[in-house]
Chains A and B, each alone.
Chain A
Amino acid sequence: MKRKKAILERRGKEILILDGATGTELQKRGMPAGVCPEAWCLDHPAIIGDVHREYLDAGSAAVYTATFGANRPKLGEYGITDVFEVNRKLALLARAAAGRDGLVAGDVGPTGRFIEPFGDLPFEDAVAVFREQIGGLVAGKADFIVIETMIDIQEARAALIAARELTDGFVMVTVSFERDGRSLNGTDPVTALTTLQSLGADAVGCNCSAGPAEMAPWIAAMKRHARVPLVAKPNAGMPELLGGKTVFPMGPEAFARHGRELVSLGVRFIGGCCGSTPEHIRALAAATKGMEPPRPVRTAPGAVSSARKTVVFEDTEGLIVVGERLNPTGKKALQQELREGKWATVRTMALEQERQGALLLDVNAAVPGVDEKRLLPEMVSFLARTSELPLVIDSSDPEAIEKALRLYPGRALLNSISGESEKLLKILPVAARYGAPFILLPLEGTGVPETSRERQAIVRKIWKEARKFGYTREDLIVDGLVMTVSTRPRGPRETLETVRWASESFRCRTILGLSNVSFGLPERKWLNGAFLAMAVERGVKFVIANPGSEEVMALGAAADTLLERDREARRYVSRFSGTGTEEKKPGPGKAVSDGEAVFSAVLEGRGEEIVPLLKKALGGGIPPQTLVEQSMVPAISRVGDLFEKRKYFLPQLLSSAETMKRGLAFLEPELRSAEGEKASRGRIVMATVEGDIHDIGKNIVSLLLGNHGFDVVDLGKDVAADRILDEIRRVRPVLAGLSALMTTTMVRMGEVIRKAKEKGIDCPFLVGGAVVTPSYAESIGARYARDGVEAVRVAEEILDRQRKPERK
């Protein structure tokens, strides 16, 4: 392999032009569909040589070996097992074509399998697959390795780790992003860059799946964070239907024009992918000739990533809360679950913390009696699938740390590295190998350093070591070392001074494990809150805390606002401004009557409040019937109006309906005693027809009908016609409601109605469901309702019509 510098200095200051599509060139030269391209190339060495040479002649400085699918799983589909040799030979063919001037890129494509934690291929097996292929490419004298067309960041990581473990040569990684700017597995360009450049990629970028125009914003987004050169290998546009044929629409000149734009945005290596030809490359080389290669930024901003999200520290205003709850210390139930291999609590804790505003999740696997080396990677794997938040690996066991960092499909933060020599020398190289930033804990094993000055000395010592591994200040976060105020009264002041020094003088970010400060004291939240506000003033950026603590989150937001860490107080305002319905809320100083309070509770779907409010109203002397007629029914009617006007959506309608139902259930005994018997507007039979098991719509309609005084006889789902008709005969309803979700089951509604007519059952039918239309309803002799609110209206209309003759 060529030395890294030799790749970057190739052709002086020029942009390095890569090749274009190979598969279509081989097809043009006779490669039939359905064959193994790698085997076909080995059988036709002159043809692949021609393709390489044509690209070199067109201006490519480097050609990719024809080894895109030359990995064990892919070659195995064709019964080929000698993976190393296939790669070596194809690399040698490219080498021969490239001669002394051309560069050979050992091409590594995806396996087509999904890898742990997102798939069933164990991560180490994936690394072994790529090691085998890359070994062949290196033996075949490839100048550098290119890992391309990756849709899964974990597969890209596996290939990159394999490459790094085999060679210190130049390794380029390109990911395929879809039109929405994310890879199929949800990784965005900045996240891919953050993960891959920290793991040791020498150039990162995108290829395939999009044309050069679509790639421009992705390249622009990556450029700000890239400390490595960027790569683009776009398709010749996006496939389009032109003249009855699906084609790649972009010709060489347009392709080259867009190529110039990509270079001006920051691309150093550029070529073409699907649909591109030697003509595209020729035009591209001409268009970019003489353009200055852009320089990467010297130091990438501090950032951590998961598979789907990056948290860039400098872009994140204010305090970053690291959720602390995924720590089994002192949590017996969580310990037990982890011992039993259950994940329900871990999942709940992760998602709750995410919803509560944590931006990172601390994960600790120190469970007594459980091997941390096994459990920590398992937790990391589970959380990588469960939460989008980047993880903070909380361990002091070098082996457990290595396993977790190796497996995690992102760039995790390591918590922590202290100054204890033995651990420092063991953990620092591991963290560096996986590009993990770390929390620097100013401890040395000879007891807790009491003063800030002692802590500063330890910070400097660890920093000196870390620099040897290529770390920058962006990659480390100094822990202020929080001591309990009850045992060390001066402790908090020393911690705050450490934070101030690290932020202002040492110029790196800081973190506090907040709740330690109040240990052993009552009403800890006040101490935690006050300490947090003081620390924010000293510049602290991270706290490890429970984001479910209102005090921490609220005081953190307030402190950020007061110290200009929240521009225009936007986050503060957004946190505390309600957006709920203001309707019927009294103005300042205006008293709310009991009836109005009941009205509001139904209108706003406040189910928990309805019974106490009704009790109060009854206690105040309002008769139950009055509450129903003058507060609850008007409220639910208003809800119906708001729903029809699209001011409410379904969950609001249903929250109000549930509140109404709860209220009516509470009032029912009172209403009975007042009226002698339960008032009902009539019975309605409801059923989802035979063959159909989707009944949520029917359940919603039943709830709303019940709230409007109808007695609903709900027969459930998948109900045979005869049973529906028997029930109609038995209960003599004012109406029967039928639902079906699918076109195939919708016809059963017609069958029920036809049978009813045959049997002389005179009952109106109401039908509804996703595919049911008014005209279909009419055709089978039924009424139609679009939704629950309309169903109530139709039921009332039918009831009204049935009663009219009685009145005459």
Chain B
Amino acid sequence: MFPADPDFFPSIPAAVPEARVWKRLGRRRNTEFPGGEQGKAIRDALGEAFSLMDLRGAGLTVPILSLDPSEIRLAGGTVFRSAGLARFLRGSDALLLMGATAGREIMDAIGKAVEEGRMARASVLDAAASEAVDGALDWITGFYRRKLLREMKTVTKRRFSAGYGDFALENQEAIHRLLGLGRLSVELTESFMLLPEKSVTAVAGILKIENRETSSDETEKSHS
């Protein structure tokens, strides 16, 4: 059964709200958006960023065979050694591996802008791409949450990434391999960085949803 084939998402329609990009670039409530040519150039850069991105991704659910305090053994033989990840996965009987990329074209545009000294433009392209790949991971999480609901399972809201805490960046190699990220033209450098740069991987836990025993004197939960 494992290693199983990952799901590939060749065109992720994740929506990235403009406000999130501006916030990443330091815009706060009292920051007036610039008018005139400057404002137009900034907005145009964002519009262009969205048009240059090619959001693609992959996902794979893998059963957890054993979960020790600092070691996670997965179906198919992969072992992750990390106390932080093990704590994060407590209660999960499977995990979701996911990866996403904004593609090469946006990185080329950022590189060109830096080369030309157009750092304002570069900063907007960069922030938009970062938000977009985050949005792509949200989308992949949403996809599996939706898919697993029928099996009375859900995906944790938080994610965990290689390079965070004691989950060594070297684990990116196994994640890259299991997700088949090469098929998305995402490469791994010798220092386990992903290329193109605006590419990310993450792990989420898969939790069971229990049957609720109903009673007549129940009280309604708030859903605000």
Could you say which residues of chain B place their CB within 8 Å of the CB of A367? none
Q: List 18 A-B contacts (CB under 8 A).
A: A112-B147, A119-B11, A184-B143, A209-B146, A237-B223, A238-B223, A246-B154, A250-B221, A253-B218, A254-B218, A351-B48, A351-B51, A386-B51, A578-B36, A579-B33, A646-B31, A647-B32, A649-B22
Provide the B191-223 mask, 1 if CB < 8 A to any CB of A, else 0.
101010100000000011111101110101101
Query: B116 CB to closest chain A CB, in angstroms?
Result: 10
Q: Are A119 and B223 in contact (CB under 8 A)?
A: no
Instruction: Annotate B21-49 by CB proximity to A: 1 below 8 A, 0 otherwise.
Output: 01001111011111111110111110110
Q: Is the CB of A275 within 8 A of B123?
A: no
Residues of A within 8 A of B164 (CB): 743
A68 at the interface (CB under 8 A from B): yes
| B87 at the A interface (CB under 8 A) | no
Q: Which residues of chain A have C-beta atoms less than 8 A from B32's C-beta?
A: 579-581, 647
Residues of B within 8 A of A (CB): 7-11, 13, 15, 22, 25-28, 30-39, 41-45, 47-48, 50-51, 110, 114, 117-124, 126-127, 139, 142-143, 146-147, 149-152, 154, 163-165, 168-169, 189, 191, 193, 195, 197, 207-212, 214-216, 218, 220-221, 223
Which of A294-302, A475-483, A498-506, A687-695 participates in binding chain B?
A: A687-695
Q: Is A654 in contact with B10, judged by CB distance below 8 angstroms?
A: no
Inter-chain contact B122/A246, CB cutoff 8 Å? no
Q: Give the size of the chain A interface in residues (CB under 8 angstroms).
A: 91
Beta-carbon contact of A699 and B114 below 8 Å: yes
Instruction: Enumerate chain A residues within 8 angstroms of B10, measured Cβ to Cβ.
Output: 114, 119-120
Could you tell me if B30 and A580 are in contact, using CB atoms closer than 8 angstroms? no
A-B contact count (CB 8 A): 213
Q: Which chain B residue lies CB-closest to A209?
A: B146
A545 at the interface (CB under 8 A from B): no
Inter-chain pairs besides A348-B51, A646-B26, A654-B120, 19 sampled, C-beta below 8 Å:
A23-B151, A114-B10, A239-B154, A240-B221, A245-B210, A251-B218, A253-B218, A253-B220, A308-B15, A351-B47, A351-B50, A604-B34, A605-B120, A650-B120, A654-B123, A655-B42, A696-B110, A700-B119, A742-B163
Which residues of chain A in 322-349 are interfacial with respect to chain B, using CB atoms and an 8 Å cutoff? Answer: 347-348
A23 with B150: CB separation less than 8 A? yes
Q: Distance (Å) between the CB of A21 and the closest chain B CB?
A: 9
CA A604 to CA B151, docked complex, whole Å: 56
Output the least CB separation between B43 and chain A (Å): 8
Determine which of A120, A184, A249, A743 lies in contact with B163 in the assembled complex, contact meaning CB atoms within 8 Å.
A743
- Asked if residues B44 and A186 are in contact (CB atoms below 8 Å), the reply is no
A22 closest partner in B (C-beta): B150
With A604-B38, A693-B197, A744-B169 as contacts: A647 and B31 at CB distance below 8 Å: yes
Given the complex of chains A and B, what is the CA–CA distance between A249 and B218 in angstroms? 10
- Is A253 in contact with B216, judged by CB distance below 8 angstroms? yes
> In the complex, which of the residues A279, A647, A696 has the most CB atoms of chain B within 10 Å of its own CB atom?
A696
A694 with B31: CB separation less than 8 A: no
What are the nearest 7 A-B pairs in CB distance? A580-B35, A251-B218, A654-B120, A691-B191, A578-B35, A254-B220, A649-B27
- CB-nearest residue of chain B to A650: B25
List the interface of chain A (C-beta within 8 A of B): 23-24, 27-28, 33, 68, 112, 114, 117-120, 149, 151, 176, 178, 182, 184-186, 208-209, 211, 213-214, 235-240, 245-254, 257, 274-275, 277, 279-280, 307-308, 347-348, 351, 354-355, 385-386, 578-581, 604-606, 608, 643, 646-652, 654-655, 657-658, 661, 690-694, 696, 699-700, 703, 718, 742-745
Could you tell me the distance between the alpha carbons of A651 and B212 in the complex, rounded to whole angstroms? 51
A277:B214 contact, CB within 8 angstroms: yes
Chain B residues contacting A650 (CB-CB under 8 Å) are 25-26, 120, 123, 127
- Inter-chain contact B195/A251, CB cutoff 8 Å: no
CB closest chain-A residue, reference B153:
A246
Pick the residue among A253, A604, A691, A699 that contacts B36 (CB under 8 A).
A604
- Name the prevailing secondary structure of the A interface residues: loop
Bound complex: CA A257 to CA B28 (Å): 41
Tell me, in angstroms, the Cα distance from A214 to B222 when the chains sit together: 11
Q: Which residue of B33, B119, B142 contacts A699 across the interface (Cβ within 8 Å)? A: B119
C-alpha gap A117/B164 in the complex (Å): 36
A696 touches B211 (CB 8 A): no
CB distance from B110 to the nearest CB of A (A): 7
A119 → chain B closest CB, angstroms: 6
**CB-defined contacts of A652 to chain B, threshold 8 Å:** 34, 38, 42, 120
Residues of A within 8 A of B43 (CB): 355
Whole-angstrom distance between the Cβ of B11 and the nearest chain A Cβ: 5
CA distance A661 to B119 in the complex (A): 11
Contact check, A694 vs B34: say whether CB atoms are below 8 A apart.
Answer: no
Which of chain B's residues have a CB closer than 8 A to the CB of A240?
221
Residue of A186, A247, A649, A692 near B31 (CB, 8 A) is: A649
Cα distance A151–B145 when bound, in Å?
Answer: 12
Tell me the complex Cα distance, A188–B157, Å.
22
Identify the interface centre among B119, B122, B169: most chain A CB within 10 Å of its CB. Answer: B119
Chain A residues, CB < 8 A from B34: 579-581, 604-605, 652, 655
